[in-house]
Structure 1
């Protein structure tokens, strides 16, 4: 037991203090994102909006994310990641508080679009900051630490959110979400100021290459779009599936989603450190993670036993634990070819595009074809993702290009 604990602690060695501060800021911020897992339930049950219209609202969620991510990448390359992170966190706090006062379909579409546009400007900026504060050999583990903070926040957030809904109402969620974003801004302002933060890896390409002309990265982008479409079912269709098909309460939904984050918090860092020592490529590991994520939806059709929900969540969690850190790592490696903001924005945009189509397609399919057919279709998309990643793995094996760096 002592050896296991020591190995767990050893997995964190060598990371810079700036990465630890960035992880804390992420934890504070993500602990308040408890609104998101309950958003589809809130819109359908409290505001009596149809599942079809909820799908369009979630599409606005994705479009706002896409626009904000693209804009964040451009501004990060022009004025720096620190200013973008400060503005994004602070403004998002106030926007989340204001969302609770929107009750019509049109106002919610506009409000959620603007909120996500501002909120997701943070993503490419934080990726570039994480790369700058990490030594090259520590980048994948730095990504994993940030994800650990995200999932620790998510593990507490949905559970606390379920309690708040049970004993208070949804308005409390919006207040908590907004306030935590503002608190994260204050921490960021004091601990990651450019005058005091230490840069670990300031890489500049001699001949910057556009992310939009990097063929392997484009294949990777499409694969990540497909992966995100499948993955995002857990944040829109799945909560409704838990309620309607298995009659779970908001608290039970929150506990299942929270278990995902807790499991990642306990096991992801040691798993990533172990996988880094194997002979597997980043793309090969991402491929396996995508396979497990697709399998997590397919098993739901095998039985009506509610225990299958735990098995499905476990498969998805392991798939997520493997796919996301190495996908981030692959994107950071390719970003050294050009402007990092552009590359990391494009990587984040893959998930924004997935959000645009994933939530809406999933909800529309669930309403018209039922949950079982929805899970089957999503499994097919996961299979297509795995196939593209396999082609990318073969392509990279045949075309190894030395990156011009200074």
Structure 2
């Protein structure tokens, strides 16, 4: 029992209250995310759309996601983290209600563009807020806990959405909209603004161009490129694994059991990851995660039973569990404090672009290469692992410099607080009154 208490304390202890408010925001948001789970089925069953039309509508949502993320990156840095997060949730809530009543394809397309933009506006703001309030040593742990909340919420949403959709498909929109409004209200009431106070720049100094800073940041750009490769594998699995499973003679219901393995493993095991990787270089953790991705994806090509497919899911899920918190913490550390929103937005592009590229290349690969496509995909994971090891020296030097600078800033802040606490109280001037002659005299 003592060991369990110690593990629990080391896993969740020592994090600020603001983080737990954000954690609850994540959990409620994901518990109510019914529409994303059932959107394809809704468009097919309720709206009776063809697969090609559905694909175009989902691509429209992806285009909106790219635009919304980049716009939110600017808002997060220049306006407010907190207000951007509230705007995202409240706007998405309204758009979902409008989407529920959209009947024409063009109207659904417009609503899905707006929905993709509104939902993804939260990403840069949310990640920047966690980075602002969590010290570097605890960031992997914090992002792990947040990722666990995401998967716990999605697991609950999958169960609840099925029950709600069985009553009336339109209810999934109403419940999802209510959850988004509730999270926006929770941010309004409980989450403080975390955006760093920017010291006024010297008017004579040249303005800082964030785009130029990003383009010249080679360590950051290499990290984004290496993030794109496992993201490509992730999207390939999301879009093509159902085809591989059904093409092997298995049913859609058996596929649901197979893919459910992913959520079960993450919910059961994600909280153990921080202790396993504590003190290890993140570049090596990321390289190891890419090898798990490669192995899991590669074995998909030879799987033909439910048990073997579940084994492949187990393997690549371990890669996912290692990668996600390490990635989030690394990008948080690489981003300058005043540019965290835009760095997070640029980081999100790795996943959003892979969402556009992977289905096309993967579909063509499966069409012309068959099962051998998965061997090619495994090679992508191996390349990503090697790339992380090659990038390790420059990345670790950059991170070491960031940690040293943050430690110096913390010491200077503490020293200033100590000086103000020990400074002698100023001597108040003697009280004075006028004497009978009208002259000022000290009151003794």
After superposition, give the CA deviation of every residue in 1:228-270 in whole Å (9 maximum; x if it has no partner). 1211234433355556652123xx6555545433432332222
Give the Cα–Cα distance (whole angstroms) in 2 for the partners of residues 399 and 79 of structure 1: 28
Give the Cα–Cα distance (whole angstroms) in 1 for the partners of residues 57 and 393 of structure 2: 39
Distance 1:349 1:78, change over 3 A: same
Distance 1:84 1:396, change over 3 A: closer
How far is the alpha carbon of 1:399 from its aligned partner? 7.3
Give the Cα–Cα distance (whole angstroms) in 2 for the partners of residues 143 and 2 of structure 1: 26
Within a 5 Å distance, the mapping from 1:221-260 to structure 2 comes to: 221-239=224-242, 241-242=244-245, 245=248, 246-249=250-253, 256-260=258-262
Q: Over aligned residues, Cα RMSD in angstroms? A: 3.1
- Contact kept, 8 Å, 2:32 with 2:175, in 1: the verdict is yes
The count of aligned residue pairs is 395
Residue of structure 2 in register with 1:57 after alignment:
57
Within a 5 Å distance, the mapping from 1:348-359 to structure 2 comes to: 348-359=348-359
How far is the alpha carbon of 1:142 from its aligned partner? 1.1
Within a 5 Å distance, the mapping from 1:39-50 to structure 2 comes to: 39-44=39-44, 47-50=47-50
Distance 1:398 1:27, change over 3 A: closer
After superposition, give the CA deviation of every residue in 1:18-48 in whole Å (9 maximum; x if it has no partner). 1111010011111122332444444455545
- Contact kept, 8 Å, 1:211 with 1:217, in 2: the verdict is yes
After superposition, give the CA deviation of every residue in 1:256-314 in whole Å (9 maximum; x if it has no partner). 5454334323322222123113xx31111112112212322221221311222321221
After superposition, give the CA deviation of every residue in 1:129-178 in whole Å (9 maximum; x if it has no partner). 1112212321111111111111110121223333444x335433333222
Q: Which deviates more from structure 2 when the two are superposed, residues 396-405 or residues 298-307?
A: 396-405
Residue of structure 2 in register with 1:215 after alignment:
218
Within a 5 Å distance, the mapping from 1:7-406 to structure 2 comes to: 7-44=7-44, 47-102=47-102, 105-165=105-165, 167-168=166-167, 170-194=169-193, 202=196, 210-239=213-242, 241-242=244-245, 245=248, 246-249=250-253, 256-277=258-279, 280-336=280-336, 339-363=339-363, 368-369=367-368, 372-396=371-395, 402-403=401-402
- Contact kept, 8 Å, 1:41 with 1:240, in 2: the verdict is no
How far is the alpha carbon of 1:371 from its aligned partner? 6.6
How far is the alpha carbon of 1:401 from its aligned partner? 7.3
Report the structure number with the largest CA radius of gyration: 2
Q: Which deviates more from structure 2 when the two are superposed, residues 131-140 or residues 378-387?
A: 378-387
Task: Flag structure 2 segments of 5+ consecutive residues without an equivalent.
Answer: 202-206, 410-444
- Contact kept, 8 Å, 2:18 with 2:192, in 1: the verdict is no
After superposition, give the CA deviation of every residue in 1:194-238 in whole Å (9 maximum; x if it has no partner). 4xxxx6x95979997722321011011112122212112344333
